[in-house]
Amino acid sequence: MSDSTSYQDLARRYGFAPKLESASRLTQLVARQDSDVDEIVKVINKDAALRDRLLRVANPDAENAAEYSIETVEEALMRNGVGCAMVLAMGTPLALSLIKTFLTMLSLKLESIDRNLAEPLESEHLLGTIGFSGKVVGGVYLRMNLASAQAIAAGILGLSPDEMQDVGEIRDTAGELLNIMTGNFKSNLCDAGLDCKLHPPEVKLSTDSQAPVVPGGGLERMAFRSEKIQLFVDVAANPWNDG
C-alpha cells in the first residue's frame, strides 16, 4: 500500500475534514518551481473566489471590478508573481480554519469582511505571531482589540468576560487559536513538498499595525467580524525562501 493510500485510509478512519483542492494543487505547482504557468492559471480560474482576490490585489487602486486595468489571471500573475497567488490561495484554508475554530469552540459565526470596512484597531492591541521556516518562510499574524481577546478567551473557557481578567490566560488562548489556525496551514504546505516548521506562538501587546514584510514574499490581509468580535489576520510568506 502506498503512503498516499495509507494516509487516505487514516484520514477517513480519524474523520479528518477534506483539504481544499485548489489550495493544495496550487501549492504543489508552486513548490515545483518549474511548473507551467498555464497549469497555475487553470487552477486559479477554477476557483472563483481566489481569482477575484488575485485580481483585487493586482488592481490596488480600483474601487470595484469595473475599474480594473488588469483583467485576467495571466496579467495578474505577471504583475504580482506566482508566490503572491500561492499566499492568497493559502489564505483561504487559513480563513476557513479560523471560521471553523470559532464555530466549533465558541459557537460563534465569524464572517469575512473587507478589511477597509473594518473598524480600525485600537492603538494598543493584542498581536499574536507564529513564524514558519524551512523551504517556505513567513508568518501568520493575528490582531485584535483587548475586549475581543477577553471575550474570545472567556467563550473558549466557558466563562463570562467579566470573569476573564487573567492576562496570561487571555494570551495563552490567543496563542492556541493561532496554533490551531496555522496547524492546518502548515499541513497544506508540507503535503505540497514545502516542508517547514512552526515556531512557538508569541503573543504580546502592540501598538504597531503595519503590514508585515517577508523579503521576496507575498502578503494576504484579511478581516473577520461577529457581533462583538473583530479580528485581523495577515499571512506573509516567501514560498521559495529566496528573499
Partner 1 sequence: MATKILSVDDSRTIRLIVGKAFRPYEVQLCEAANGEEGLATAAREKPELIILDVTMPVMDGVTMLTKLKEDAELKAIPVIMLTAESGRDNVLQIAKLGVRDYLVKPFKEEQLIEKVGRIVPLQKKPAA
* Whether 90 contacts 228, CB under 8 Å: no
Mask 169-188, x = binds partner 1 (CB under 8 A)?
x--xx-xx--xxxxxx-xxx
Q: Report d(CA 107, CA 99) in Å as an integer.
A: 10
Cβ closest to partner 1, residue 146 vs residue 190: 190
Q: How far is the CB of 64 from partner 1 (least distance, A)?
A: 35
Q: How far is the CB of 91 from partner 1 (least distance, A)?
A: 17
Instruction: Decide if residue 156 touches partner 1 (CB under 8 A).
Output: yes
142: enclosing H helix or E strand: strand 137-144
Only segment of 65-73, 74-82, 153-161, 209-217 that touches partner 1 (CB under 8 A): 153-161
Mask 103-142, x = binds partner 1 (CB under 8 A)?
-xx-------------------------------------
Instruction: Decide if residue 3 touches partner 1 (CB under 8 A).
Output: yes
Q: Report d(CA 95, CA 112) in Å as an integer.
A: 8
Instruction: Decide if residue 202 touches partner 1 (CB under 8 A).
Output: no
Cβ closest to partner 1, residue 44 vs residue 189: 189
Cβ closest to partner 1, residue 55 vs residue 170: 170
216 CB burial (10 A radius; 0-12, 13-18, 19+): middle
Instruction: Decide if residue 158 touches partner 1 (CB under 8 A).
Output: yes
Pick from 113, 191, 221, 225 the residue near partner 1 by CB under 8 A. Answer: 191
Nearest alpha carbon to residue 167 among 140, 204, 121: 204
Q: Report d(CA 203, CA 205) in Å as an integer.
A: 7
Q: Report d(CA 133, CA 146) in Å as an integer.
A: 29
CA-based diameter of the chain, in Å? 56
Q: Report d(CA 103, CA 95) in Å as an integer.
A: 12
Q: What does the binding site for partner 1 look like in residue numbers (CB under 8 A)?
A: 3-4, 6-7, 10-11, 14, 16-17, 100-101, 104-105, 153, 156-158, 169, 172-173, 175-176, 179-184, 186-188, 190-191, 198, 200
